């Protein structure tokens, strides 16, 4: 089966029959003449999950739709058979940059015992969003991260920027803050599978953020959060993350004595991918998550258009390359950023609200749902690569490819044609060879039944 997405015909499925299909044909071409050769004996990391982020602005946009249209959008994200099949998604602890406004779950100064901790704000949009997704996907797993601790735990005490206070009472209070979050969501029948202490710990922004040093992460994970979660009987895992810079020394945290018993994995994003090789070399069994795909039209790129969020084929192809890069680097899971935004897509940056892309766009004025090219690019991976698949070795003269083998033995070859011209490729898998014809500017998946 060859499954192709173009701008004219999203996610078209065609049977693998040369007499009936214009998108694929059988071939007896020898392996030596193949553009791509897949070696299923060379197996790499386990693929466990795909997902995206719940944010207040996403639910606010979905809320303008009719119940039927909103349900269709949610099924497009979470349904295992017809949608993206997302099964592991992110929840912010307090405000992210796509909250409706800045907040944390405890802004009572010096409340070290968390007497005033509350998820009341989350009941307005985040929890309804999660529950709507759970209705479609009851087995949905969740992980969580904070963009900022309560402001009184930082210097200076502000939502945007600042540094986490290096103080024992502060560490203990923040560990309790995270534990209370997990426990409070559990009371809402929303289990949190994993927690990351800080989103992008070196990225000081004009939206909620906080600076942490690697040494602070060592202290917090080893001496406070890990022991406290264990003491309170929480099965929620702790990950090192979300690390988005190659300068922030993630391996040094793992190498510190006593840390790894409390760290179940590493969440990397953006240029944090640079740490993957060192982590795989020293801790080969430690799972690596790609925790946030790169946002469209970020503000430091040349040609940034402040009124356009980059929901086009070029950005979708960029996302495709990031999927391949992180899976090549050893990631076992991949997360989009916003799943849903409105047509403006602007975050709460205090200086220059930053319009970003999303898989689904809700046009508020027309009350309609738009599926962006990134949606279709992601669907090729998230729907067709089964959980429990293995990355397998693929090589050849054509670079825009990556291969996996599903638990049932079927082989998945992901392909991208960025050219404005059609493309013909020959793919060899063992003794089998398949010619595929890709339309201009298209994504494709070659799905071969078990041999």
Token match 């600042």: residue? 162
The span from the CA of 147 to the CA of 212, in Å, is 12
pLDDT of residue 310: 77
CA 373/CA 309 separation, integer angstroms: 12
Which parts of the chain sit beneath pLDDT 70? Answer: 14-32, 297-309
Question: What is the reported pLDDT for 9?
Answer: 80
Element holding 195 (H helix, E strand): strand 194-196
Cross-sheet strand order for the sheet of 340-342: 340-342, 360-363, 368-371
Strands 401-405 and 411-417: antiparallel
| Domain covering 49-387: architecture | Alpha-Beta Barrel (3.20)
Q: What is the pLDDT of residue 300?
A: 44
Neighbouring CB atoms inside 10 A of 381's CB total 24
pTM, to two decimals: 0.94
Q: Tell which residue, 430, 434, 446, 435, has the closest CA to residue 39.
A: 430
Name the CATH superfamily, with its identifier, for domain 2-45+391-448. Answer: Golgi alpha-mannosidase II (2.60.40.1180)
What does the pLDDT read at residue 14?
64
The predicted pLDDT at position 295 comes to: 86
DSSP 113-132: T-TT---TGGGTTHHHHHHH
- By C-alpha distance, which of 225, 223, 288, 212 is closest to 258? 223
Identify the pLDDT of residue 33: 87
pLDDT at 367: 96
Domain ranges of the chain: 2-45+391-448, 49-387
């Amino acid at each position: 089966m060859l499954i192709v997405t173009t701008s004219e015909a999203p996610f078209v499925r065609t049977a693998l029959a040369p007499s009936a299909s214009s998108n694929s044909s059988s071939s007896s071409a020898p392996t030596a003449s193949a553009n791509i050769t897949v070696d299923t004996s060379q197996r790499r990391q386990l693929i466990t999950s795909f997902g995206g982020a719940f944010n207040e602005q996403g639910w606010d946009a979905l809320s303008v739709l009719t119940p039927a249209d909103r349900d269709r959008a949610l099924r497009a994200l979470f349904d295992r058979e017809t949608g993206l099949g997302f099964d592991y998604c992110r929840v912010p602890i307090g405000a992210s940059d796509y909250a409706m406004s800045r907040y944390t779950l405890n802004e009572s100064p010096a409340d070290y015992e968390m007497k005033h901790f509350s998820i009341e704000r989350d009941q307005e949009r985040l929890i309804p969003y999660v529950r709507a997704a759970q209705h479609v996907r009851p087995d949905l797993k969740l992980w969580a991260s904070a963009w900022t601790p309560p402001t009184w735990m930082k210097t200076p005490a502000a939502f945007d920027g600042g540094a986490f206070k290096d103080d024992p009472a502060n560490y203990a209070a923040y560990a309790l803050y995270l534990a209370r979050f997990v426990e409070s969501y559990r009371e809402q029948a929303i289990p949190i599978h994993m927690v990351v202490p800080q989103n992008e710990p070196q990225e000081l922004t004009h939206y909620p953020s906080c600076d942490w040093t690697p040494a602070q992460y060592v202290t917090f994970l080893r001496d406070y959060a890990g022991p406290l979660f264990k003491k309170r009987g929480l099965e929620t895992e702790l990950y090192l993350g979300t690390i988005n810079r190659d300068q922030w020394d993630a391996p040094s945290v793992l190498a510190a004595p006593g840390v790894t018993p409390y760290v179940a994995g590493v969440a990397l994003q953006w240029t944090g991918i640079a740490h993957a090789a060192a982590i795989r070399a020293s801790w080969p069994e430690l799972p690596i998550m790609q925790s946030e795909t790169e946002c469209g039209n970020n503000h430091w790129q040349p040609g940034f258009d402040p009124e356009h969020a980059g929901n086009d084929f070029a950005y979708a192809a960029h996302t495709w390359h990031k999927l391949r890069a992180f899976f090549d680097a050893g990631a076992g899971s991949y997360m989009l950023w916003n799943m849903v935004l409105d047509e403006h897509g602007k975050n709460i940056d205090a200086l220059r609200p930053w319009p970003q892309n999303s898989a689904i766009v809700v046009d508020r004025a027309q009350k309609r749902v738009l599926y962006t090219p990134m949606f279709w690019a992601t669907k090729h991976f998230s729907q067709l690569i089964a959980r429990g698949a293995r990355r397998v070795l693929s090589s050849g003269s054509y670079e825009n490819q990556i291969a996996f083998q599903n638990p049932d033995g079927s082989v998945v070859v992901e392909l991208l044609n960025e050219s404005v011209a059609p493309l013909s490729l020959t793919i060899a898998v063992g003794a089998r060879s398949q010619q595929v014809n890709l339309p201009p500017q298209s994504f494709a998946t070659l799905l071969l039944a078990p041999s």
